[in-house]
Amino acid sequence: MGGDFESYSAQLRKGVVQLLVLQVLSSESLYGYALVKRLEELGEFVAGEGTVYPVLRRLEADGLLSADWVNDTPGNPRKYYSVTEAGAAFLARTLEEWDRIVTAVHGLRGAER
């Protein structure tokens, strides 16, 4: 079989994880580990903290997320992430694009049957 499926799959998941992170954080602020656990509930898109934390750092650096340190439990403070206005706008555009892609793929698959 031609092509490198693993490489393709990794790139696809990278974009999907970014979308999922923004979507989850658009409805509630979470600290990193809680976000990892929440995303793991959605399926095997996330390979744990090693997948999510780089995405969080990148989205924060891009201004799509903001982060605040909160000392809400005994022990160490936690860094809570929230979607910024720019992040909300980016998420809306990304979801529109996602819907176009899904519609096109479903249309092609339906035409092949």
What pLDDT was estimated at residue 109? 86
Q: Nearest CA to 46 among 72, 62, 23, 68?
A: 23
Query: How many Å apart are CA 31 and CA 34, to the nearest integer?
Result: 6
Over the stretch 48-73, which tens digit does the pLDDT of each residue have?
788 899 999 999 999 999 999 998 77
Query: How many Å apart are CA 45 and CA 66, to the nearest integer?
Result: 23
Strand locations in the chain (E): 30-31, 65-70, 78-83
Query: How many Å apart are CA 12 and CA 98, to the nearest integer?
Result: 12
User: How confident is the model over 13-35, as a mean pLDDT?
Assistant: 93
What pLDDT was estimated at residue 48? 77
CATH architecture of 5-112: Orthogonal Bundle (1.10)
Query: How many Å apart are CA 51 and CA 64, to the nearest integer?
Result: 18
Which residue ranges make up each domain of the chain? Answer: 5-112
Residue 23 predicted with pLDDT over 60: yes
User: How confident is the model over 9-27, as a mean pLDDT?
Assistant: 90
